[in-house]
Each structure stands twice: as C-alpha cells, then as structure tokens.
Amino acid sequence: MAVPKRKKSRSNTRHRRARWKAGAPDLVAVTTPDGRKLAVPRRYVQAYRRGLAG
C-alpha cells in the first residue's frame, strides 16, 4: 500500500472529500416470480427475478 511521505494539509483533504458525491442507483423495471412489478437497482435484477430478494 502507498504511504505518503508528507502530511496532507487540511485544506487539500477537505477539498478532496467535498468533491466526492454518491450517484443515484440506475433503476431497472423487473417483474418478480409472483407477478409484482418493481424498480430495483441493476445489481439486484437477477436476485429479484429468481425470487431471492424482496
């Protein structure tokens, strides 16, 4: 793992953290085995289709 040679200033640290933003998940329409229609994040589509989630 990389180790910094010098302490990073508070200004630089806060500037870096302030720029990070979480994006909204990409929702996909899915029909579950019991016939319900849901909008779920793309990463959970297979689980909902198989009836493992929800």
Mean pLDDT, to the nearest integer, of 25-48? 91
Global pTM?
0.53
Gap between the Cα atoms of 25 and 40, Å rounded: 9
User: Over the chain, what is the mean pLDDT?
Assistant: 89
Whole-number pLDDT of residue 36? 87
Q: Which tokens go with 22? A: 């979480």
HSE toward the beta carbon, residue 18, CA cutoff 13 A: 6
Domain residue ranges in the chain: 26-53
